Structure 1
Amino acid sequence: MRGMSADSRSTPTRRLAAPVGILAAVAAAFAYVGAVDPNEPGHYPVCPLLRFTGLYCPGCGGLRSAHAVVHGDLPAALHANAIAVVGYLLFAVLWTVWVVRAARGRPLRLDLRSVHLWTAGALLLLFTVVRNLPFGGWLHP
């Protein structure tokens, strides 16, 4: 079996165990947030940055966004936290690629370079700054 990777020699069940496990954990988290409404006070902790400074962090509204996605309300999800919705979509695409590659016996390889990480960080910072400026009120959760 020279030339074959360890992933291609393992059983399909073994190769799919990690992606299925990750999906189960994410689905359980979304199910919990879908059942326990973050719009009602007392269920989840308050964002410390918002509580002590009045500023919205990039994660503020993420639970409300997830709750809206679970209930099929995309406009409310985008209003609560647009960047989180992009993250959910990115996760779905990457997870799908992972499953297809695992089923074919190929490992998932992400070739992230520093430019990709700096760009993602800059976009996150821009989102955070804009949502805290007066004209960025439409990005408030």
Structure 2
Amino acid sequence: MPGRPSRARGGRAGHNASVNADSQRVVPSDAGSVAARLAVPAGILAAVVGAFAYVGAVDPNQPGHYPACPLLRYAGVYCPGCGGLRSAHAFVHGDLAGALTDNALAVAAYAVFAVVWTVWVVRSLRGRPLRIELGPLHLWSLGALLLVFTVVRNLPFGGRLHP
């Protein structure tokens, strides 16, 4: 009936919905809420893209642009992050082999970020929160991975992992 809100799937019309006059069905008007749900993932992506753009523009292979790793400078040991800026620079310029050579763990982290961010966006579009629940086993495993990577890249046979 004209002038009376229609019902769709047993729900009430009116809250966050509008009536389409041609078909008399409820059409969600949540374009604003979709934008709001995507605001944080978009902001995180903008920050990451900005950081990669800066590292891509300012070459870490040239001395004086970035501070040196204190662990490498004072102890002579490669930390898990050593070569990460050079890896990001190579990645931005499309040199995947160079990025893997500079820091293979960082390239794996780029891939993990891309997957998690994509899942986050899809869940946000569906109105569902992103839940990443890392238990003690996950955290200990991540710590062990970082430790093994650090130890192996500092041993003589781990020379391929040197930045």
TM-score range, shorter chain: over 0.9
**Which residue does 1:138 correspond to in 2?**
160
Question: 1:1-141 residue pairs with structure 2 within 5 A?
Answer: 11-141=33-163
The structural deviation recorded for 1:33 is: 0.1
The structural deviation recorded for 1:57 is: 0.3
**Which residue does 1:5 correspond to in 2?**
none
Aligned residues: 134
Matched position secondary structure for 2:103: helix
Q: Larger C-alpha radius of gyration, 1 or 2?
A: 2
Worse overlay, 93-102 or 110-119: 110-119
Structure with a larger share of its residues in strand: 2
Matched position secondary structure for 1:44: coil
Q: For residues 95 and 126 of structure 2, what CA distance do their matches in structure 1 show?
A: 35
Q: Give structure 1 regions of 4+ aligned residues with deviation exceeding 2 angstroms.
A: none
TM-score by length of 2: 0.80
Taking only aligned residues, the RMSD between alpha carbons, in angstroms, comes to: 1.2
The structural deviation recorded for 1:14 is: 0.4
What whole-Å deviation, never above 9, does each CA across 1:34-70 have from its counterpart, x for those lacking one? 0000001000000000000110000000000000100
The structural deviation recorded for 1:17 is: 0.2
Worse overlay, 19-28 or 106-115: 106-115
Identity score, percent: 72
Q: For residues 121 and 83 of structure 1, what CA distance do their matches in structure 2 show?
A: 13
TM-score by length of 1: 0.93
What whole-Å deviation, never above 9, does each CA across 1:2-26 have from its counterpart, x for those lacking one? xxxxxxx871000000000000000
Matched position secondary structure for 1:11: helix
Q: For residues 110 and 50 of structure 1, what CA distance do their matches in structure 2 show?
A: 33
Q: Specify every segment of 5 or more residues in structure 2 that has no aligned partner in the other structure, as ranges.
A: 1-10, 12-29
Matched position secondary structure for 2:60: coil
Structure with a larger share of its residues in helix: 1
**Which residue does 2:23 correspond to in 1?**
none
